[in-house]
Structure 1
Amino acid sequence: MVTTALYWYRQDLRLADLPAMRAAIDNGLKLIPCYVFDDAAAGQWSPGGASRWWLHHSLAALDTELAKRGSPLVVRRGETARVLADLAAQTGAEAVYCSEAIDPWARELQSQVADALWETGVQLEARPSALLFHPGTVCTQAGDPYRVFTPFWRACLQQPSPAEPLSAASGKHFVEHDLDSLPHDDWQLLPRNPDWAAGWDELWSPGATGARRALQHFLDNALDSYAEGRDFPAARSTSRLSPHLHFGEISPRQVWHAVQALPEGQDKPAAKFLAEVGWREFCHQLLYFNPEIPEKPFKADFGEMPWLADQTHLQAWQRGRTGYPIVDAGMRELWQTGFMHNRVRMIVASFLTKHLLLPWQWGEQWFWDTLVDADLANNSCGWQWVAGCGADAAPYFRIFNPILQGRKFDPDGEYVRQWVPEIASLPDKYLHAPWEAPAKILAEAGVELGETYPEPLVDHKEARETALQAYGVISG
């Protein structure tokens, strides 16, 4: 007689390197894979629009792979504990296995599910899989979580190397079934009327296969230039793995060992790339031990920051109509692709919080809705870092100059010209500050400030001084 267990998929939408799945198999269990739509469990951190688009296609890809093994993904909607208990009763499953949660709301849900299943005689078994180093395994000598990245990552590198990734489960490890499951068209994840994600299929390949291809493409074509090129948004020198990692289509261990397997001579770019993976680890550790980070400043003094509440300025920023080309290019790239280059993310975040003096939570929420890689730890820690109120944050007086940032990291204007085509004919000299161009140059380029392209929303020097005064309230 075959003993059955449910495998509850969460943010681990793959078949390889799943410790909980391997544990079930090692215990002699055959698996029925399932996924539960339960937006109420996540509350305000239910996936945003762009993430929902990605989730649809990632689940569809996983379903296809599981169907090849005779065990398609069982997708249901409702209160998670009840759905899992009902499915366990329907299938005779004696246990539910899953990857251990990191996000606060997901940890709370996991606890609730464990309690509810226990009452029905079904045990929940969770195993870590989202990070290289599970929270609490890398701490200071005093036993406290690290608050600064560099010593944290140094300590991580002194740990034993992460274990080799586990191989994918085969068809013999699953139960063949024809259980009822929500059809793809009923998942209610894709945008309709309008379909603002039209064309994204050509930009992205959600799913484990797409993740592996993205990693290999990066290692083959971009890693060598990563250390120097990662700050240039037009260079395509980054991995673009963040959405794949967020949805668990590829594990950090798979990434780590793929990089470690590279031939000698790539040590410098490999170390730099893995340090960025380390930042992901750091952010998740911070969130694990500080669950209030998505809503409250890590540095409590910043609760007194005299933020403004100018909705007009917020909307101009959201729409890429600030009058600062590098900022506008980033915001338009985000809206049209669900993604933004990391250097540009810092520039637009600095502009929102320090030029416009708008709360970092407003930017965090916009990114949450519009990024395909919207990740609670990375997003909240990133915004707090730029705003100056996070752990190991940039000092409050560091205010990105969007003009100089554009000239330094987009010197030939390729990035700005792609996303802000109405000023594409301006010479490089004026591209990042159109208001400095003589009237004749503007006319020749077909640019009419205030009409075809907006005047600057604020003056950089004045905004900088105003920001320093405001930050002085909480720094002095």
Structure 2
Amino acid sequence: MKQNISICWLRRDLRLTDNAALYHALKSKYPVLLLFIFDENILSKLASKQDPRLTFIQQTLEALNLELRQYGSGIEIKYGKPEQVWAAILNTYQVKEVYANQDYEPYARERDDALAEYLTSEHIRFNTYKDQVIFEMKEILKADGNPYTVFTPYFRQWRQKLNAFYIKPYPVKKYLQNLLQKKGTIIPALEEIGFQKSDQKFPGQSFENKLKAYEEKRDFPAEDATTHIGLHLRFGTISIRAAAMTALDQKADKWLSELAWRDFYMMILWHFPAVVQQAFKPAYDNIRWINNESDFKNWCTGHTGYPLVDAGMRELNATGYMHNRVRMVVASFLTKHLLIDWRWGEAYFAEKLLDYEQASNVGGWQWACGCGNDAAPYFRVFNPELQAKKFDPENKYIDRWVPELKQQKHVKPIVEHAFARERVLKVFKQALNQ
């Protein structure tokens, strides 16, 4: 007879410490099997067969497996469409309960709703928990019960509500002896699932020493003044609660507000999932984009003739990372100087960013374009040259990524700033007056 077990399905929470779903699973009355699925529905949409994020996931799973060995356990790792994987899992094990942490992206919600229905039909409970945000869905609402769509009042309430209860870690380690005893876990090579290993370097998890200088230096891309933990928050190798606790301990208020922006955009995506493909402000869907493919290619490869824009895009292509101030400049440039649809830029970032998160990326792009829920006004058009003078005054960042500028071999600007500004104001005004 098969042994009764619980399953904890790891997705964006690849850690054994302070993990809500894992904690609750381990406190259930059955031994816990950890499951990870390389989701074919997601992987089939990846543009590169050498996507570094898969290498990061695989390395993380290997490290977790090593840790689990001390407890005589391991992770069950599968590849396929989740609905097919789950059918096979239920054939193999006597599953009584399934535990997972909430995911707020539209695809994830559809997948989890379908799984909940399937498990219920098999008389199996599906329990989900808040883990990747401090406050979710309906925890911070306006007095009338509607979600906030402007960040400042949202953050005021977020900050007021934040206390030790919300960032208290889950003491998972105390219960790890309740893991299912499992020998010989096999982690499939990336080649087995149709991908190749990447030699991309990944940022470490340590960020505490960056917080003191963050507020003062965060806007200067030549300074190493940002934490680089976006990747770890994306895949849950760092707990959001631990990050917030560190920020509070160090009184790093500005950095703490960045964590609140992340919560804010997750909440917006949950309440308004259509923002993935539509402007939050519907009038902006009337914009007549030029969408010149040659201009888009120059933007992608960092050959626009604007040194700060080109430096940012080359940094992104080479490292999978781009400094946040520069992200705003390159996004504004694409949508306003080149009149290229923000969705093109959002998709390119989705392909290249190691720390890509749909909620924050869509939110950031709509902010830069002017069409988002709490966006910069459409008539605010960043001047890339003035931005460079202000935030990279000694050209340190630009010289690193656009070395030909010093030799005066940099390409000429593909569009003139004053002309582009006049044109975008006219086009946007026409769209908004329809």
TM norm structure 2: 0.93
Partner of 2:400 in structure 1?
418
1:176 aligns with 2:181: yes
Using the TM superposition, give the Cα deviation of residue 309 of structure 1 relative to its aligned residue in structure 2, in angstroms: 1.9
- How far apart, in 1, do the equivalents of 2:97 and 2:300 lie? 46
Partner residue in 2 for 1:113: 115
Give the 4+ runs in structure 1 shifted more than 6 A. 45-48
Give 1:435's aligned residue.
none
Structure 2: which amino acid aligns with 1:325?
Answer: P
Report SS of the residue matched to 1:374. coil
Match for residue 447 of structure 1?
A: 408
Instruction: Tell me which of 215, 221, 224 is aligned to 1:233.
Output: 221
Is the 2:26–2:176 contact (alpha carbons within 8 Å) kept by the matching residues of 1? no
**What's the CA shift for 1:120?**
2.3
Q: Which amino acid in structure 2 is aligned with residue 184 of structure 1?
A: A
Counterpart of 2:430, as a letter, is: V
36, 60, 73: which is aligned to 1:71? Answer: 73
What is the percent sequence identity of the aligned residues? 34
**Superposed displacement of residue 475, structure 1:** 3.1
Q: What is the Cα deviation at residue 176 of structure 1?
A: 1.8
Q: Which moved more, 1:399-408 or 1:91-100?
A: 91-100
Q: Structure 2: which amino acid aligns with 1:164?
A: K
Alpha-carbon deviations, 1:234-256, whole Å to 9, x = none? 11111111111011111211111
Counterpart check, 1:223 vs 2:211: yes
SS in 1 for 2:275: coil
Distance of 2:72 and 2:99 partners within structure 1: 19
Aligned residue in 2 for 1:443: none
Q: Which residue of 1 aligns with 2:297?
A: 315
The one of 249, 252, 268 equivalent to 1:261 is: 249
Q: How does 1:143-182 map to 2 (within 5 A)?
A: 143-161=145-163, 162-169=166-173, 171-178=176-183, 181-182=186-187
Q: CA deviation at 1:135?
A: 1.0
The answer to which of 60-69 and 22-31 deviates more is 60-69
Q: For the structure 1 residues 89 and 95, does the alpha-carbon distance in structure 2 shift closer, same or farther, using more than 3 Å as the test?
A: farther
Q: Is the 8 A contact 2:79 2:193 kept in 1?
A: no
AA of the residue aligned to 1:149? F
Query: Deviations along 1:406-454, whole A, 9 cap, x unmatched?
Result: 010000111001111112x3xxxxxxxxxxxxxxxxxxxx334xxxx21
Instruction: Find 2:417's aligned residue among 436, 441, 460.
Output: 460
CA shift digits 1:269-291 (9 cap, x unpaired): x1111001111011001000011
Q: Letter of the aligned partner of 2:12 in structure 1? A: Q
Contact 2:311 2:401 in 1 (8 A): yes
Aligned position for 1:389: 371
Q: Partners in 2 of 1:3 and 1:394 — Cα distance?
A: 54
- The answer as to whether partners of 2:266 and 2:359 remain within 8 angstroms in 1 is yes
Judged with a 3 Å threshold, the aligned counterparts in structure 2 of structure 1 residues 87 and 186 are, in CA distance, closer, same or farther, namely farther
Match in the other structure for 1:474: 431
Structure 2 residue matching 1:126: 3-state secondary structure: strand
- Who is 1:61 aligned against? 63
Alignment deviations for residues 9-56 of structure 1 (CA, whole Å, 9 cap, x no partner): 111111112222221222232211111122326885899934334333
Offset of residue 405 of structure 1:
0.3
Distance 2:48 2:82 in 1: 16
- Mapped partners of 2:427, 2:142: distance in 1: 34
- Verify the 8 A CA contact 2:74 2:185 in the aligned structure 1: no
Correspondence for 1:343 among 315, 321, 325? 325
Alignment of 1:167-316 (within 5 A): 167-169=171-173, 171-178=176-183, 181-186=186-191, 188=193, 191=196, 197-198=198-199, 200-201=200-201, 204-205=202-203, 210-211=204-205, 214-215=206-207, 219-220=208-209, 222-262=210-250, 267=251, 270-316=252-298
| Secondary structure of residue in 1 paired with 2:172 | coil
Q: What is the DSSP-based 3-state SS (H/G/I as helix, E as strand, rest coil) of the residue aligned with 2:8?
A: strand
CA distance in 2, matches of 1:393, 1:92: 50
Amino acid at match of 2:212: D
2: CA distance between counterparts of 1:260 and 1:47?
39
* Alpha-carbon distance in structure 2 between the residues aligned to 1:94 and 1:18: 20
Query: Alpha-carbon deviation of 1:187?
Result: 5.4
1:33 aligned counterpart, secondary structure: strand
Do the aligned residues in 1 keep the contact of 2:314 with 2:401 (CA within 8 Å)? yes
TM-score (norm. length: structure 1) = 0.85
**Which residue is 2:83 aligned to?**
81
Aligned length: 428
- Structure-2 separation of matches of 1:372 and 1:54: 9
Aligned equivalents of 2:338, 2:284: Cα separation in 1: 16
AA at the equivalent of 2:224: R
Q: Distance in 2 between matches of 1:388 and 1:92?
A: 52
Task: Return closer, same or farther for 1:307/1:282 CA change in 2, 3 Å cut-off.
Answer: same
Does structure 2 retain, via aligned residues, the 8 Å contact 1:50–1:372? Answer: yes
Letter in 2 for 1:314: F
Q: Matched residues in 1 for 2:20 and 2:161: separation? A: 20
The answer to whether the 8 Å contact 2:151/2:264 transfers is yes
| Contact residue 7 and residue 25 of structure 2 kept, 8 A | no
Task: Name the CA distance, whole Å, in 2 between partners of 1:78 and 1:46.
Answer: 18
What SS does the aligned partner of 1:398 have?
coil
Tell me the equivalent position of 2:348: 366
Partner of 1:30: 31
Taking the aligned partners of 2:367 and 2:316, their CA distance within structure 1 comes to: 20
